[in-house]
Structure 1
Amino acid sequence: MGRLGLQGWVDHIRDQDMPAFGNTVDSVLEITSNENASITMLSQVILQDAALTTKVLKLSNSVIFNPARQPVSTISRAVTVLGFNVLGQVVLTICLIDAFLAGGLRGRVAAEMARCFHAAVQARAAADACAVAQVEEVFIAALLGRVGEMAFWCFGGETANELDQALNEQPDERPEDLQMDLLSFRLRSLTTSLAREWRLGSMVVSAAEPVAHPGPAEKAIAMGHRLAAAAEQGWGSAAATKALTAYAEMLQKPLDEVKELVACNAAEAARVAAQFGATDAARLIPVPGAGTAEAAIASAAVDPEADPLLQLRILRDLAMMLTGKPSLNEVLNLVLEGIYRGLGMHRAVFALLTTDRTTLQGKAGLGHDAEALVKRFLFRLDGTKGELINEIFMRSEAFWLREPPPRGISIARFEKAIGIGEGFIAPITTHGRAIGVFFADYGAHQPDEDTWQGFQHFVQQASLSFEHVATRGVAPKR
């Protein structure tokens, strides 16, 4: 694919690798570019995806997008606080980050993301200090300022491997020169083309291809990327010192004061990356001084509070959904959100048996490091008596996992894979036969009997949904 040419790569990424993202882009752009569009139309696009809804709400409550810290618990409120167009940009950015987390050269993808998240927070701070009106747009533009690089490392296949090898073997060569040798174009040109293809905005284009006469917003973006790149050489390096000095001059503040601000911004960047679900990238962000990226990531993982009213709303929405013809994924994602947000759990995941009924495999999750939890949620059914996963499918029984474990049940295999032995787990059943499970753990706060009953009720609703779908002759996706 190395000789596809620039437009060939744009077409390849758009048509073969990111069709789902393209559909979301089209839906959101159609709404945000329509002067007559309503808040409800944008809300519906977001609410179709429970994981997207959770991330939007989390970011809507973050200091980056909501410095006044006005509580946001609904998508409608998020539109009011962030603004219609900014929320549309946030949705597109979340979808992009999720797409890039899917695979490829993960180390390269994570490194690009780390620089972009770091640059975005530093750029936003600079824009705010310089009284730029569109600070949120500056953040988004800096974050997407290397979207072509991220897309290439994620979807470049063998060509990406070749460039990776060349960069490793020739560290003294300019990366742009190696890109030209292999691709006949620079990856920043791919960023420009993709930004135009996906209509990400002129500010993203100018972040990739600097304009002749940049305004304050463009200068803030360029400074954010310069500082983030220099920091990767070490905060004590000559490049970092030079970048910090330039940053201080731009902000018109003393260097010592700026160093403290930059350190706080780096920690905030790690938190924001974790909130977007990019924990690998968050760990790569260089946090100066006594702070660490791990501490910032941990502080981003705040468990939701139990919300009885939200539980009722989700159960009502679920009942209304079942009167129509919902997809199974829509129903299960809504149940997952009810367990996670409604019951106030630390993490929640649902898993299904493979078609041959030999393996239980995680399908989707919400909460702290949910992506890793879903990947680890893989258990082979071997008929071992007394072992938790086998017993769930032999008995079709739910278990409250706590100390001591349920009598006669071994949780050793489960605890080794998941990293925790406390929580709720219950089978999804249809016509008396278990076909999957929901699992949720409860973090620092201990649940009560009402939480346990609420969990079982949500799982029962999921089981009824399976039966409802089965009566329509639609098989669940495995």
Structure 2
Amino acid sequence: MVKAVLLDRLWARMNERGDFPMLSQSLRTTVAAMANHDYDFSALVQIVLSDFALTQKVLRLANSVMYMAFGGNITTVTRALMVLGMDAVGHLVVGLKIVDHFHHSAPRRIDAKLELNRTMLSGSVARKLTEHGDLRVGEEAVVCTLMRQVGKLLVVFYLDAEWDEIRRACDGGATEDEACIAVIGVTFDELGNEAAVRWRLPDTIREGMGAYDPLADESRQTQWLRAITNYSTDVARVLTTADITEEARESHIAELANRYGRVLSTDPEVLVQMSLALAKEETDDGLMREIMELRANADAIARESLDPEARIAAGVEDLRALPPDSPFSTALTLANETVLAGLGFARTVVFVRQGVNMFAAQHGFGPGVEEVLPNLGFNAAFQPDVFHLAIANSVGIFIENARDPKMLPRLPAWYRETFDDARAFVLLPVAVRDEQPVALLYGDWTISQEPRRISQTEMSALNELANELASFFARSTADAD
């Protein structure tokens, strides 16, 4: 029950970014069309035709050498579906939709790009392994392989602060599963399985994306899919691991080939050569080349993690890049995450003006914040406390010692009761020109964290973030009018 509540909360955070519900609906529509075996294929044809790049991919595949026996020169999606089959095209659509979603929503963070490229490389390995067999089964294996990475991608792309914590825990010696459970309460695999359920992917996909166990009591098809999925994932990980010699890389791949060769009905030496050949092809002009270029700039990851101003500046750019028709709640969530991750706060809360006189908490990140949001809010009418000082101010204010006896009278009772462990906090008003603030951003460090201050340059970066958020609100309001 606790896990279900947590996953619902995580899904809500993803949905707040705006683009995630579109992916979910697209995948559900595709899966529903795959289950509809009407001869005219109208639903799936419409899905393919709605995406020009997808249309070209399907037509190229139908006209490939493998399918020339069906007549060649296929120019319609309907005919392509008749040649390739509903399952093959449906799985192709699902795989491309997943990859395209993360590609188009990719943040500038190098580690996010690396994880996406690693996922795409694993899909390439799976496709290479199955290219001479049944296309329908091959594309199904590719989807299973991509879905095995989805849990991690969701965290990397949507839960920046949690991903940083997980990465630091792994650097400290924890396994990925241990770090995930400690930070978000579920593993990447469990989150990926939840995605598959909510997207209503077929049972074969959900079963095939699981961990491979040669002793498991599973059908032969499920074991084969899991072997493809796990081998492809592990090979992509080995190929993209930094700072290991070519000899060590080949040795690791040989170990994997010996483990999976029998269930894949492929000689281990053939598996090794195929994997290394794919890496060489990709290095010449493909994913591996981009991964190597990203690795060359890997020090930027450390700078990005440690430099608050750079992270806040990246958040400002993300705000500027939002489409004008994005909901204000999406911009608020993005700004909230930026404040949280940029300064390593324990908690953040966004207060939004409701009507004329009230500010109510609308979004919050950090342990226990979601539960207390309904209790957080204050009347805009003047009171001699720091929250009213903040909404009367044009720039943010920083309270360095919230536990100072002289400061306590300046903290409202509702705040002291809820956040009694706050050590220091910042309040950022979001005001359009000289009007009353439309929102107030709050972020704090607790007594369990090392004491620190906000520098003048960091505060300037935060104020720029608040100004950009105000500009977004002004633009979206003007467009609505």
Please give the TM-score of this superposition, normalised by the length of structure 1: 0.49
Please give the TM-score of this superposition, normalised by the length of structure 2: 0.49
Q: Please identify the structure whose Cα radius of gyration is greater.
A: 2
